[in-house]
Amino acid sequence: MCLGIPGRIEKIDDFDWNLATVDVGGVKRQVNIACVVSDEHPASSCVGNWVLIHVGFAMSRIDETEAAETLRILTELGEAQAELEAMRLSAD
Amino acid sequence: MRYVDEFRDSAKASILVREIEALVATMDIPDERPLNIMEVCGGHTHSIFRYGVEGMLPKQIELVHGPGCPVCVLPMGRVDDCVAIAEQKHVIFTTFGDAMRVPGSRKSLLQAKADGADVRMVYSPIDALALARANPTREVVFFGLGFETTMPSTALTILQAEKDDVTNFSVFCNHITIVPTIKAILDSPDLKLDGFLGPGHVSMVIGTAPYEFIARFYRKPMVIAGFEPLDILQSIWMVLKQIKEGRVEIENQYARVVPEGGNSAALRAVARVYELREFFEWRGLGSIDHSGVRLRDAYARFDAERKFAIPNLRIADPKSCQCGEVLKGVIKPWQCKVFGTACTPERPLGALMVSSEGACAAYYQYGGVKRHEAAE
C-alpha cells in the first residue's frame, strides 16, 4: 500500500469526479485522479499518461521509463503481485 | 559483493559501491563508532534486505531500520478496537490486506474473520465506500492506516461520502504523520544517528520543506531516496558526501517523483479533513506527541471512533518482544530473544514480523545472513 504501483490512464470516466480507468500490468481498474489534475494538467490531457497509484488514487505523474523501472523493482520485491492481487480481490 | 550480480545494472552498482568505499576511506571513521544512517521508510527497509545493500557497504556504515512501516507500529490496543468494531453484528469492517495479521491482545482481524466477523480486505477506501452504497442496511467501516502516502486517499473518500451523503460509511482513523515521529527519534537519548534516508512516497505528498528542521535544529543531513537499490546506494553516498563536507541539508535524490512542494491537491484534502491528535500510541515506541491525526468535528459523522463504542485501551507490548529497541536501532532484529523462534512471519508475536516492510520480517525472509552468522 505504501509503495504504490504504476499505471497508464486509458480513459476518463467522470470529469466531475476525476475518475479514470487505468491499466495496471494488464488489470483495468477505476482510480481517482484528483491529485494529479490541475489547471495546467486538466483531466482531458491525462489520457496516455503514466501515474503512480496508491490505494486507488493516482498520486504522481511519472514518465514511461520510470513506470517500467518501478514495476520491475516492485515485481522483484513481490509488492506488485500483492498489489494486483488486492485489486482483483477488491473488484469481486 | 555477491548480491551486486542480481542488479539489472550491476556495473553502475559496483561503481557506486566503490565511490562509497573511496569516500569512507577519506573520512577517518573509527571502527568502534560507525556512521549510523537511518532509513525511515519500510519500503526502503524491504529493498535494502531484498538486494543485500547492507552487505555491500563498508563496515564503517551501519544502516538503522526506522519506524516507517505503518502496519508495524500499530499498537495492540488499536487492533483490539478494530476487532471490537468488526464483531458488532451490523458492521462490515474493511481493511487493507497488510493489516489482517497484526496481532491484537485477543486476536487479529484474520482471527476475528475466522470467528465469524464480517471483515473484508479492500484495495482502496473507494471500494469500502462502494460497499457502503451496496449495503445500505449495514454499517461499513474502513480502517484508515498509513502515513501521509495514504492519508489523502482516505480524506478524499470521506469528502466523496459527504458529497454523496452516504450515512452508513465511517473511518476508523489510524493515520500517522512522519515529522513528529522523526523528531521523537532525534530526541531519543539512546540513539546516535548521523543522517537519514528520507521517505520517498510520504515526501511525494508533503514535499521537502517539512524536513528542514532536521538540518537546521538537529544538524543532521537527509537525502530523500527512491526505492531502487541504485537510488539507495546513491542516496547513502549523498549523505556521506554531506558529512564529509560538513554540510547539513535536505537533499532530494528522488526528484523524478518527489516535487519540492509536494502534492497540493492531496495536502488540501488532508488539511480539510484531519486535525492533529494530542498524542498517538505506537507499538514499540510508546506515545508520541502530535504523531497521529483524527477527523475534524465537521466530519464527525464519518468517524468510527465517535460512531461506535470502542475499548480504547492501552495494551502493553508482549514482554518478550523487543520491537521498540529494533525500531530505534538499538539492537538488530536477530538480537531479539524471540526472533525466529517464538516470533516468525507465520506466527508473528511482534509487529515487525508482520509486514514484509518490517525490519524483522525482511531480515527473516532474506537473511542479513552474513552479519547474523558472523555474530554467532
Coil/strand/helix, residue B223: strand
Q: How far is CA B314 from CA A52, A66, B79, B231, in A?
A: 36, 43, 11, 39
Q: What is the pLDDT of residues A1-35, one digit of tens each?
A: 778 999 999 999 999 989 999 999 889 999 999 99
Q: What is the pLDDT of residues B55-110, one digit of tens each?
A: 999 999 999 988 888 988 888 999 999 999 999 999 999 999 989 988 899 999 99
Contact B62, B35 (CB under 8 A): yes
Residue B25 burial (C-beta neighbours within 10 Å; 0-12, 13-18, 19+): exposed
Coil/strand/helix, residue B142: strand
Cell reading at A16: 466531475
More confident residue, B318 or B224: B224
CB contact under 8 A, A1 and B146: yes
Which amino acid is present at B331? I
Q: What is the pLDDT of residues B40-67, one digit of tens each?
A: 999 999 999 989 999 999 999 999 988 8
Q: How far apart are CA B121 and CA B110, in angstroms?
A: 10
CB contact under 8 A, A38 and B265: yes
Share of chain B above pLDDT 70, in %: 95
Which residues are A8's β-sheet partners?
Answer: A23, A50
Say which of A37, A78, A87 has its CB closest to residue B356: A78
Query: B265 to chain A: which residues are within 8 Å by CB?
Result: 34-38
CB contact under 8 A, B41 and A2: yes
pTM, full prediction = 0.93
The pLDDT, as a whole number, for residue B372 is 43
pLDDT tier for residue B370 given thresholds of 50, 70 and 90: very low
CB contact under 8 A, B121 and A56: no
Above 80 in pLDDT, residue B349? Answer: yes
Structural domain tally of chain A?
Answer: 1
Query: B205 to chain A: which residues are within 8 Å by CB?
Result: 59
Domains of chain B in start order, with CATH, are: 76-177+261-307 (3.40.50.11740)
Say which of B43, B122, B152 has its CB closest to residue A2: B43
Cell reading at B327: 525500531
Which residues are B36's β-sheet partners?
Answer: B62
pLDDT tier for residue B367 given thresholds of 50, 70 and 90: confident
Say which of B47, B50, B127 has its CB closest to residue A90: B127
Q: Give which of B366, B367, B316, B323 is closest to B342, Cα–Cα.
A: B323
Above 60 in pLDDT, residue B369? Answer: no
Query: B145 to chain A: which residues are within 8 Å by CB?
Result: 1
Above 80 in pLDDT, residue B256? Answer: yes
B126/chain A closest Cα distance in angstroms: 7
The pLDDT, as a whole number, for residue B374 is 42
Cell reading at A18: 476525476
Helices B229-245 and B42-50 meet at what angle, rounded to 10? 110
The pLDDT, as a whole number, for residue A91 is 64
Domain limits for position A61: 5-91
Above 60 in pLDDT, residue B6? Answer: no
Cell reading at B362: 525482511
CB contact under 8 A, A54 and B256: no
Q: How far apart are CA B48 and CA B36, in angstroms?
A: 15
Above 60 in pLDDT, residue B129? Answer: yes
The pLDDT, as a whole number, for residue A25 is 87
**For the CA atoms of chain A, what is the radius of gyration?**
12
CB contact under 8 A, B96 and A89: no
CB contact under 8 A, A90 and B265: no
The pLDDT, as a whole number, for residue B368 is 53
Q: What is the CATH number of the domain that holds A31?
A: 2.30.30.140
Tell me the residues of B at the A interface, defined by beta carbons under 8 Å apart.
8, 41-43, 46-47, 50, 69-70, 96-98, 121-127, 145-147, 149-150, 152-153, 156, 160, 201, 204-205, 227-228, 256-257, 263-266, 269, 356-357
pLDDT tier for residue B1 given thresholds of 50, 70 and 90: very low
The pLDDT, as a whole number, for residue B21 is 97
Q: How far apart are CA B114 and CA B155, in angstroms?
A: 30
State the DSSP code for B343.
B
Interface test with B, best of A55, A76, A81 (most B CBs within 10 A): A55
| Residue B286 CB neighbour total at 10 angstroms | 14
Share of chain B above pLDDT 90, in %: 72
Contact A22, A8 (CB under 8 A): yes
Q: Which of B98-107, B218-227, B296-305 has the lowest mean pLDDT?
A: B98-107
Contact B122, B237 (CB under 8 A): no
Q: How far is CA B142 from CA A1, B129, B130, B169, B175, in A?
A: 15, 8, 11, 8, 12
